[in-house]
Structure 1
Amino acid sequence: MMPADNHTFFAPVTYILTGIPGTEESHVWISIPFCLMYIATLFGNCLLLFIILTERSLHEPMYLFVSMLAAADLLLSTTAVPTMLAVFWFGAGEISFAACLTQMFFIHVSFLAESAIILAMAFDRYVAICDPLRYTMILTKSVIGKLGLAIVTRSFCFNFPVIFLVKQLKFCRTNLLPHIYCEYMAIVRLACDDITVSIWYGLATAILVIGLDAVLIALSYGLILRAVFQLPSNDARLKAIRTCSSHLCVILMFYTPVFFLIFARRFGHIIPGYILILLANLCVLIPPMLNPIVYGLKTKEILKRVINVFHRWCRGSSLLS
């Protein structure tokens, strides 16, 4: 740790993740729900991927997008949560500068990828309801593959500048990072020089990427609702809305905490820091855990195959015993 008044700049070799400031005595208790949510995330998303990839009848656009979302959820949670648990359980907060930048990069890549996948799923629902006769012609496997490549490319391209912005910053205060994983704004605020460009790039990315995705999703659902209300019977309307219910839940679970966190960081200076850190952690934990549950319970095809998988496992266990 270096004093702030001598302005001796240094390139940090390591950072020390301090955990959630003000809650040090409760770290073990906080870690319990975090660990349980991570286990549920791993189990749910791996099971979802296994079912979709092994069942040929589920190799359809909607389920392929669900598998992409499950993969992004696994990347997001696995990049961040083991570090959280190491800090909570062992106080092992030391992380090299390169590892910290790598973790930060993949966390943000996962976030942008999830937002893009949710947008692609909105387009899928729009085509399925507004142009059902051309659904299989528009959303071919080739098109889905190109969309997946575009999602990955966009996520990487918007996050590469973040690496260079952080690497050019000069540090003179401390290498203590008041967080439980490497997060962009937490690192930037340790710098001694002007961080205006870094802050505005983060805000611009949030608005131009996540904000634009949210606007396009809202536009898609506006067109979907217009098409639904033009259907001749109430049963047809309810059926159409029911096919969107899982996706709507995923939208709310992802965008509600993300937008609250974005605006709280920029304008909510009265909010305690530990609340913002907890909210950032919940953005990493809650959607990846709940997404497979939502699709597993609300999608009959997936639920039926989940029950079949458990039935086979139980029958195999009884035979072995």
Structure 2
Amino acid sequence: GRALLLAGLMISAGVMAAPVPPACGFDSTTKECSTKYGSGASDSGVRSTAYGANANAWGSDSVAIGTNSSTGGHSSIAIGSESSVNNHGVAIGFKAKAMADRSIATGDNSNASGYNSVALGANAVAKKDNEVNIGIWSDDKSKQTGLRTLSGLSDGVNPDEAVNMKQFDSAITAVNNYTDTGINKVLSSGSATARDAFAIGNDATVTGYMSTAIGVKANASTASTATGDNASASGMNSTATGMSANATGNGSVATGVGVHATGNGSIATGANAYATGDGSIATGNMSIATGINSVALGANAVARKDNEVNIGIWKTFPGGYSPTPTGTRTLSGLSDGINPDEAVNKGQLDT
């Protein structure tokens, strides 16, 4: 009687009493066991709760709180104006949406569309299944426009745990130390006694400045480069490349296994090629150019005379050759000779 009298007094005084929640439980008088409050609010789901204008708690055991909030699935929670959620999801924030099953969107305009995904923070978007995203996306959710810092992170221990910056820095330092130590071990196995010089390899030596020796027992002098086991570039500004390549002439180049370029400015290319004359060129396996400014072109070719070009075939051996050639080569693609010092071709001879 007192309760009815009190309710009557409140109504007569112009004060609306708060809604009395329906009975729920053993011997309850309400079957649905649901609660709704607000203009247009709907709680069609069993044991659901809807608070706010046009709030809709459609799924069973769901909660929709906020203007136009909506729960479209079972056991879901939508809190915030225009928030919406699907089965077993949670959406908290203005226009927060958790539309995939078991997804969570927390923050204004956050969106979790991947299964079991989490979008954490305003404008965060988690599109992939099992994804956690804390980034900042554009309003239309088409692209990520910003990042967030995750702080307060403890050291990761297990393989699937995130690491923090302290661990990352320690790892980088360890890698750098390991790399530096490895390089130092390699460098220390060689000997470089001049400035701007590098010796890499067991017993590699550099005696001249701005020189490099790479390889076991490789040796380089002033401004020279020797690359290959037992390679030697002893001439100034010389280059020796290949096992046992030897460039002793100043400005000489020796390329190949067992190659020798001993003349100043000479070039020897090909296994066991020799260019001993100054300015000579020997190109081809076992080719030999002994004359000054001579050219031996082709395997086993020999140019003995100064200013000679020889394309013949000789019986050669390392550093030596037979007294006479054993074969010849054809020189083709020759244009008509015009000047007195130019070669003529067969076509000119026939006419």
| Interval containing the TM-score (normalised by the shorter chain) | under 0.3
Select the structure of larger CA radius of gyration.
2
Higher relative contact order (CA 8 A, sep 6+): 1
> Higher strand share goes to which structure?
2
